Amino acid sequence: MPEGHTVHRIARQLGLDLVGRRLAVSSPQGRFAAGAARLDGQVLVSVEAVGKQLFCTFERGDVLRVHLGLYGAWDFHGLLTPLVPGGAAAGSLGAPRVRSVVRMGEDERESPADEGGLLAAFPPDPVGQVRVRLASDVTVADLRGPTACEVLDPEGAAAAVARLGPDPASTDDPAAAGEVMVQRLTSRNVAVGQLLMDQTVVAGIGNIYRAEMLFRARLDPHTPGGRVPVDVARALWDDWCVLLADGIRTGIMLTRDDLGAAEREAALTDPSLRHWVYHRTGLPCLVSGTPVVVEEMAGRKLYWCPTCQV
């Protein structure tokens, strides 16, 4: 499942290349035809990510809410602005001819271009089951496989946001937002490993960040929230602020904090170097040497070290 950093990167890409433009909105798959017709021809005025959800506001107040779920992704075609100044992005060699595609979802990557680096025409034909297409004259964003995709009025969108826990990247006051997370986590008699994935407690954390944050805190994932010391809960929030910002910047969940500059550079291209415990079942813990274990918690795989996390 795409975690919070990916959704924030999608929001930023949409903001850079589609906000302020009048869009052709369609549903090539047909499952969102009515919603697409409602949005078609409107100017996209803002895009906000809160946790794992995306809220795209149009000029008449309509809000497109998207939750990617386990399998959703956005494909971007055409003229794209680098998310990091000076960085790489798919680009145009004399629009409307297009060089490449960027996919943003669980596996964010740049897809290979056609021979010669150009597609024959723009916009490209939809590929696969595209639920929604947002298109300007030079940029296309295709959404496929979301868990949720709906048009809300402003009040409905505000209610959807209000149901979510705090998100460090969606607040002007991280300290106050952190206290909300601390209160919600420490007031529940539910395993902390489950609470960190509860989007009403804190927004944006998925399976990878959950396992890694608990290891970094040396916290037993079975500890009830009510038995987590307040200072430890605050440290979890502070760590989430750091990891989320890094993930938004790089597009990669790199959670080991013991790497030097050269090792970190290697980890950016080698997923096996990025994490303390995630996907390391049976391998020696990088700190204690104890085999990392995996179990089911709330329907998802939980990785942890029974020696370090006590």
- Tell me the helices (H) and strands (E) count for the chain, helix number first: 8, 12
Q: What value, to the nearest 5°, has the Cα angle with vertex 269 and ends 199 and 262?
A: 110
Q: Which residue in the list 3, 28, 146, 184 is annotated as catalytic?
A: 3
CA distance 72 to 76: 13
Tokens 């990891």 appear where?
243
Q: Which parts of the chain are beta strand (E)?
A: 24-26, 44-50, 53-58, 63-67, 73-78, 101-105, 109-111, 130-135, 139-144, 148-152, 293-297, 300-304
Q: Which residue in the list 2, 166, 168, 221 is annotated as catalytic?
A: 2
Q: Which residue in the list 9, 52, 144, 184 is annotated as catalytic?
A: 52
Neighbour tally for 253: CB within 10 Å: 20
Tokens for 29, please give them. Answer: 């798959």
Buried/exposed code over 83-113 (b: 16+ C-beta within 10 A; e: otherwise): beeeeebbebeeeeebbbbbbbbbebeeeee
Residue 216 falls in the annotated catalytic set: no
Tokens for 177, please give them. Answer: 């937002």
Please check whether residue 206 is in contact with residue 3, taking contact to mean a CB–CB distance below 8 angstroms. yes
Residue 52 falls in the annotated catalytic set: yes
Q: Which residue in the list 12, 38, 249, 300 is annotated as catalytic?
A: 300
CA distance 125 to 50: 31
Instruction: For residue 151, give the nearest of 164, 160, 163, 141 by alpha carbon.
Output: 160
Residue 21 falls in the annotated catalytic set: no
Instruction: For residue 228, give the nearest of 177, 199, 220 by alpha carbon.
Output: 220
- By residue count, the chain amounts to 310
> How far is Cα of residue 40 from the mean position of the Cα atoms in its chain?
26
Residue 2 falls in the annotated catalytic set: yes
Tokens for 74, please give them. Answer: 């956005």
User: What positions carry a catalytic annotation?
Assistant: 2-3, 52, 300
